[in-house]
Amino acid sequence: MQATVKWTGNLGFDCVMDTGETCHLDGNKQGLSPMQAVLMAVGACSSVDVVEIMKKARQDFNACHCEVTAERAPNPPRIFTKIHAHYVVSGSNLNEKHLARAVQLSTEKYCSVMLMLQETVAITTSYAIEE
C-alpha cells in the first residue's frame, strides 16, 4: 500500500492512493482534517466487520450505521484520548447476541484501525437494534 500526499497551499493536501482513490485533507476546514479522517476510518473499518459478521450469521438486516464520538487531549499533539463507537443496525428478527458478538469481534480482533489506536486511546462501544 502506498499513498502520495501533495501540499496544495496553506494547510491543504491532496491525497492519492497507488490504486487511484483520492481525497482532500485540510487543516483550515476546507475539507476533512486528518483527525476527522481518522475518526471516520474507525467507524468505517469497524462497520465493515460488523456488516460482514452479521451477513455470515444470516441476520436479516437492511441498514447499519456507526456514530463515532471522540475526545482529544487539550494540548498538542491533541491526540484522541477516548473514542466511542455506537452501532445501529436495522432489520427484522435480529438476534442481539449476534450483533453483540459482531461488535466484540470487530473491536478485539478484526478492525485494524481500532487495534492500531487501542494502546493510546480508550475505545468503548455500544449498539442498538431498530426493527
Dmax over CA atoms of the chain, in Å, equals: 52
Cβ atoms of 27 and 13 within 8 Å: the answer is: no
For the chain, percent of residues with pLDDT exceeding 70:
100
Cβ atoms of 54 and 61 within 8 Å: the answer is: yes
Q: Is 28 strand, coil or helix?
A: coil
pLDDT per residue over 20-32, tens digit each? 999 999 999 889 9
Domains and CATH numbers, the chain: 1-32 (2.20.25), 34-130 (3.30.300.20)
**Cell (9 digits) for 47:** 462497520
Report pLDDT for 79.
97
pLDDT per residue over 115-128, tens digit each? 999 999 999 999 99
